[in-house]
Amino acid sequence: MKRSAMTALFLCAIMAFTLIPAAALAAPDMPATSATGGLRYTVSVAKFENRAGWRGQWDIGDGWGIIMTDILNQTGKFIVLGETDMRKDAMAEQDLAASGRTTQGAITPGVGNITPAQILVKGAITHVQNNTSGGGGGISIGGVTLGGASSNSQVNVTMYMIHTSTGQILASKSVVGKANKSGGAIGYSGNGWGAGAGGFKSDNVGKAVENAVQQGVQWMIEQLPKITWRGNVVLVKDGNVIINRGTREGVKEGMTFVVGNAEALRDPSTGEVLDVSFNTLAQITVNTVKEKIAIATVSNGNVEQIEKGMFVQLP
């Protein structure tokens, strides 16, 4: 009798699984940002403040940073730098090496080599709700859970994208992450991301944080076409223009960029950057790409007008 009941339960779970729309099983939609040509932006995640006052077995601010750094990296649309505390530790090591108190050699960390971030992501966790009741147990089949304890978690977060050159907020967003385990209910719990968040993955609040991060990262990707992607001319030699962007940043052979001078238009009373005026001098086409540089030739304009330090951006 017990066996028959378990068999029926299993078949119900399978039937429910087949009725779930295929779209629900896919990873969150992340369309290619055609406006950016697949170029990557450097981004650093600051620790999110825990303004909700939630206390658990793990630090929710640290958990957010770990999960967001991992998911940003998985998208392939960003060059993800270490979290701000990691970068501070790296700078401390550089300062120690520069003091002369360490052995000097090829592996000694040097000052001036840290990759700068174009975008800083920071924010605050404003509300955490975690209601749990009922017993354990339940059957899990391919991400579908049948039965088990009732647990509803919600995490509210306000996040900001900040331009590191100006300190201005480029965009802001409030997201609500949810995780739901209801006894007797069937629901898809997979998401296709597989963030390497360790123990957070088995915690329902951690799952709610991950859900909020997924929404936040999707929103960030949608903002990229609004943010100007720029590089700089490193060297002009023998008719070639070498820029400081390569495969790491998503540059590919055949890509076309414009080269010119960018002038910041500042408010005379506050010094605030109001806009940036770009004066195009030439157009270049990439012929060779390495990890951190690309070599291009002028396809329109005069190569003699191009100088080291000039800006490079999409047409």
Q: What is the mean pLDDT of each run of 10 residues along the chain (315 residues)?
A: 47 36 31 60 90 86 88 88 56 52 49 64 92 50 45 90 83 91 37 44 81 92 88 93 92 95 80 78 96 94 92 90
Q: What is the pLDDT of residue 304?
A: 92
Burial bucket for residue 212 (CB in 10 Å: 0-12, 13-18, 19+): buried
**DSSP strand pairing (41-45 vs 78-80):** parallel
Helix then strand then coil, % of the chain, to nearest 5: 30, 35, 35
Residue 261 shares a structural domain with residue 299: yes
Instruction: Assign residue 254 the CATH number of its domain.
Output: 2.40.10.410
Q: What is the model's pTM? A: 0.66
Residue 247 shares a structural domain with residue 218: no
DSSP one-letter string for 221-272: HHHGGGS--EEEEEEEETTEEEES--GGGT--TT-EEEEEEEEEEE-TTT--
Residue 129 shares a structural domain with residue 25: yes
Q: What is the pLDDT of residue 34?
A: 47
Residue 96 domain-assigned (yes or no): no
Looking from the CA of 127 toward its CB, the CA atoms found within 13 Å total 9
Q: What is the pLDDT of residue 142?
A: 41
For residues 305 and 281, give the distance between their C-alpha atoms in angstroms, rounded to a whole number.
7
Question: What totals of helices (H) and strands (E) does the chain contain, helices first?
Answer: 5, 15
Q: Residue 48: name the closest of 193, 216, 226 by CA.
A: 216
Residue 152 shares a structural domain with residue 289: no
Residue 183 shares a structural domain with residue 63: yes
Residue 39 domain-assigned (yes or no): yes
Residue 74 shares a structural domain with residue 174: yes
Residue 270 domain-assigned (yes or no): yes
Residue 251 shares a structural domain with residue 214: no
Sign, Cα dihedral of 286, 288, 291, 293: negative
Task: Give Dmax over CA atoms of the chain in angstroms.
Answer: 88
Q: Which domain holds residue 274?
A: 230-313
Residue 94 domain-assigned (yes or no): no
Q: Which of 170, 193, 225 lies at the terminal end of a domain, its last residue?
A: 225
Q: What is the pLDDT of residue 36?
A: 60
Residue 37 shares a structural domain with residue 167: yes
Residue 107 domain-assigned (yes or no): no
Residue 246 shares a structural domain with residue 209: no
Q: Which of 225, 253, 283 lies at the terminal end of a domain, its last residue?
A: 225
Residue 77 shares a structural domain with residue 195: yes
Residue 209 domain-assigned (yes or no): yes
Q: Which of 200, 225, 250 lies at the terminal end of a domain, its last residue?
A: 225
